[in-house]
Amino acid sequence: MKKTILIAPSSPSPLALALADEARTAGWRVVLARTVPAQGEASQAGTSGPALAHPEDPDFLELPANPSSYVSVAALLLSVRNAFGDPDAVVLVQDPSAFRLDLLGGSAGEVESSLHREALGPALLAREVLRGFSARASGTMILACVEAEGGTLGPAASLVAAAFRGLGDGIFAAAKESPWAALGILDRGSTPQETARFCLRLLGEGKGAKSGRWLKFTGKPGLFGGF
């Protein structure tokens, strides 16, 4: 029986798209959460609208979601359950280097809604997903963070990166006493396709020694590990 994976980027992400493509090729049933803007935010191309089914691939579905809205998160998970059943794996994707919010020059409304989505959104989704994993005593969560080349980020992006890393640390600690698995990927200079394949490889290994920690991934053989 095919397994179901939910891929949930906080904002549009090449890694999320690559992971959806690679997971489809690997035989997963795939749900890609398509970020919709919060009230007052400008819409980005391809991020709004209704659910998108793909008649050529009945095992692939795109669903709109506002990560900063509890109602939207609950609706997303209900839609996944109705389409494919409860997800076996969930991948939260964060790309702080693509977060271009001008903390000093942006409007107060834009700053508030953007930071709420990027920093709090993953925590809201993680909460609901992990509650479901606990109830079913199974499931795997991966937090994938694309790190900036050279390590330089603006103040807003730095806050988002720190929040995501902190969320991961807390989840990994909880995973040690839980029936579900959780781990993180720090993507350091690899292509989206390489990182996507690495992510799927980890999911294929099941709950093992890598659970409960961050793994650095560069796309180069042998150059990844935990800390």
Would the pLDDT of 225 be above 60? no
Task: Count structural domains, the chain.
Answer: 1
> CA 85 to CA 120: how far, in whole Å?
26
Helix axes 14-25, 192-205, angle to 10 degrees: 50
Q: Which domain holds residue 37?
A: 4-226
Count CA atoms closer than 13 A to 104's CA, side-chain side.
Answer: 2
pLDDT digits (tens, 9 = 90+) for 68-97: 889 999 999 999 999 999 999 999 999 887
Q: Identify the pLDDT of residue 122.
A: 93
Which amino acid is it at 46?
G
CB within 8 A of 150, min separation 6: which ones? none
> CA 193 to CA 215: how far, in whole Å?
17
Mean pLDDT of 13-17: 91
Would the pLDDT of 45 be above 70? no
> CA 173 to CA 178: how far, in whole Å?
9
Nearest to 164 by CA among 226, 91, 227: 91
What CATH code is carried by the domain that includes residue 143? 3.40.50.720
- Alpha helix locations (H) across 1-118? 14-25, 70-84, 108-115
Instruction: Please indicate whether residue 40 or residue 105 has the higher confidence score (pLDDT).
Output: 105
> CA 147 to CA 33: how far, in whole Å?
21
pLDDT digits (tens, 9 = 90+) for 130-178: 999 999 999 999 999 998 666 677 788 888 889 999 999 999 999 998 9
